[in-house]
Amino acid sequence: METQDLDLLRGTLDLMVLKTLSWRPMHGLAVLRWIEQSTRDNFQIEEGALYPSLHRMEQRGWLDAEWGYTEKNRKAKFYRLTPSGRLQLAAELSKWSRYTEAMNLLLAAPGVG
């Protein structure tokens, strides 16, 4: 069976990025690759969506960033979660849990009359 990329639900990219960075600091391309690999390529994240998300979260104080070098010795900006970012991750995980629970209830509900 051929797999098709899943469209991201509004607001889920931030959750994915926060969760990814909860493991360790990473540069943008590593974040993108980790999301794709961990979802078995079901989510294809565009750089044009990822980098504005990273910058927005940095402005909100959820991420800190510093310049460093990749494993291929290329200069890159490495992002890490701040304490505020960890709190935001917990809030996003709670919201996602409530959302999926409500959707599961709806999908399992018996038909109308």
* Contact predicate 43/49, CB 8 Å: no
- The residue with greater pLDDT, 7 or 47, is 47
Residue-level pLDDT at 45: 87
Q: What would be the CATH architecture of the domain defined by 12-108?
A: Orthogonal Bundle (1.10)
The rounded distance, in Å, linking the Cα atoms of 31 and 110 is 41
**In the chain, where are the structural domains located?**
12-108
Residue 30: name the closest of 57, 2, 68, 56 by CA.
68
Q: How far apart are the first and last CA of the chain?
A: 36
Q: What is the pLDDT of residues 14-31, one digit of tens each?
A: 999 999 999 999 999 999
Chain mean pLDDT for the chain: 90
d(CA 71, CA 54): 20
